[in-house]
Chain A
Amino acid sequence: MSWMNKTLSIFGWKKRKETPHKEALASQQTFKTVGDLKQWVKNELPPLAWQRICLRLTKFVIEHYNFSLNSAPDGTKLPNSLLQKINEVVKEIFNKQLPYGN
């Protein structure tokens, strides 16, 4: 236990969230590419979450954006409208929110 936590625990207080700046950063994060998004999914969601998202959206993406989500190279740019759609799916399946606001 760090000195600060020790001090706080004497008073029965809890330390503030360890890295509030991380949250602030995340809220400003922009997903410019498929690679950015995949990295976030890998870090934040359960294993194979990316494949489940692809399953949900492959047809939609092919129809509206003319590329395939599950085989798109990491550098593929992500339009905001698609990010919104992906966010809906992430919310529905995993009850989480993409930090894509910009």
Chain B
Amino acid sequence: MEIKVLDSTYDNQTHAYRVGDEPMVFHCHHYNLFLQNTIEDASDFVDSSKVLTQAAEHVVYHQWKNLTASTPLSLDDLLATFSTFGFGKLNIQTLDVKGGIITSNYDHYGLGYISKYEPRNENQPSVCYFTRGFIAALFAYYFQKPLHSYQVTQLECFSKGSNRNVFEVRLLEIPQKPIADFYHGKGVLGKIPEFGNRNDTAIDYLGIREALTSMKLEGSTETGLIDAFGVLLTRHYANYYCNITFATLKGLIDTLGEEQGYALSKDLFIEAGHVCGFNTFGGIMLSMEWNALIKPMIQTREDWMHGIIGCINALGWGTYIIEELVPNQFLKVRLYNDYESNHYLMMPNKPVKKPISFLATGVMAALMNLLYHSDITQNPTLDEAFYNKTFKTPGKFIGKQTQCRSLGDEYGLIEVTRE
């Protein structure tokens, strides 16, 4: 069985892709690595290595279990999951129930890291936590062991100057206890709003969704990587992002107290959203696909915003609807069934009763900044200087979440104003 994630799995009601009940969302290497770096930074507060690896193992393992109630997946199927979703390619060197050696010449996190940052030194950790978790899930699933039965150690890493990744897998005598409460599944869904084309824009929302969800955004046969819109994309596990984000939020709140822990987490996770908005959506707005598909519809600057929100609704993030857009001043966007809230509502013990759609908040601010502050329409290069112009100069836009489903609201609401 080949896992074809694009085959009729897009749910146009909730704007989600689900494979084995796991919602899958597109994100780029800039976001993935910035978020991971932030969580590494918090390692005084939470065991970040275990959070990042165990969360990966948890979601991948449960996805496979849900996919295959009757017929187990083959080893090739398991490996194809990794490649199809854009994480790279894994090569099995040795494998038995006691462990094995896995190598990789292409890895999203490893190659993404060296494309962005200076190499790490020997004393620093390797960066392919997600891959380690994936491999642990693969062994546990294949040999029918409980979760966290295998220890996966990264012996070589692209981030340290190696030209490949090498992982050693070892069966533990007793499975490890999970470091945090991890969750999987489609989450708690809420109201489904009316979604369609609008009278206040020439942008064809339904057409964009149809076109983008029909695009073959899968890892290439050779590398297992998705090279699109000027970034390395992944079709990633929404619950992975939420598990690692909320475990870190909890760690910070437990140590620093609710006010400080939440404030610090919120700022950093919203910044991750800025990074995502700038690189992924900036990349999309400069892409050939944008020029071919969306630019011909654009009549006003505001249509750029409608066009890019149209794209978001094809990424599996939930339903995003512009409630109000005042040119150059203000944006208000509704979030229905956003993946952060869907996940948070599953958690019986919530770390905090405050808005938690951090990614969405950061991305909405990034879009206003790109459009009205630093001007993406002038075809800039998305480099550090342009990033600083977009987010570090006076008068920039900032986002604030004023409603959240996790607080009992029907939908999330993000408001973006100039500072």
Contacts and interface: CB of A to CB of B under 8 A. Distances in A.
Contacts of A58: 44-45, 256
B392 A47 contact: yes
A4 interface: no
Given A46-B388, A70-B260, A52 B44 contact: no
A56 B146 CA distance: 34
B268 A51 contact: yes
Contacts of B124: 92
A42 to B, nearest CB: 8
Interface residues of B, number: 22
Contacts of A95: 117-118
A46 B392 CA distance: 8
B176 interface: no
Given A48-B267, A70-B264, A71-B260, A55 B387 contact: no
Contact of A55 (B268, B384, B391): B268
B42 interface: yes
Contact of B268 (A48, A60, A92): A48
A6 interface: no
Contacts of A92: 124
A47 B118 contact: no
A59 interface: yes
B268 A52 contact: yes
Given A47-B391, A52-B38, A59 B44 contact: yes
A12 to B, nearest CB: 25
Contacts of A70: 256, 260, 264
A59 B45 contact: yes
B214 interface: no
Nearest to B120: A92
Nearest to B121: A92
A72 to B, nearest CB: 12
A92 B274 CA distance: 22
A59 B118 CA distance: 26
B41 interface: yes
A55 B260 contact: no
Contacts of B118: 95
B274 A52 contact: no
Given A47-B271, A47-B392, A55 B37 contact: no
Interface string B28-58: 0000000001100110110000000000000
Interface centre among A46, A55, A60, A71 (most CB of B within 10 A): A55
Given A52-B38, A58-B44, A59-B44, A46 B387 contact: yes
Given A47-B392, A95-B118, A56 B271 contact: no
Contacts of B392: 46-47
A47 to B, nearest CB: 5
A26 interface: no
B264 A56 contact: no
Interface string B109-142: 0000000011000001000000000000000000
26 contacts: A46-B384, A47-B271, A47-B274, A47-B388, A47-B391, A48-B271, A51-B267, A51-B268, A52-B37, A52-B38, A52-B268, A55-B38, A55-B41, A55-B42, A55-B44, A55-B268, A56-B44, A58-B44, A58-B45, A58-B256, A59-B255, A68-B260, A70-B256, A70-B260, A93-B41, A95-B118
Interface of B: 37-38, 41-42, 44-45, 117-118, 124, 255-256, 260, 264, 267-268, 271, 274, 384, 387-388, 391-392
Given A46-B388, A52-B38, A52-B41, 11 more contacts: A47-B271, A47-B274, A47-B392, A48-B267, A48-B268, A48-B271, A51-B267, A55-B264, A56-B44, A58-B44, A95-B118
Top 5 closest pairs, chain A to chain B, by CB:
A48-B271, A59-B44, A55-B41, A47-B391, A95-B118
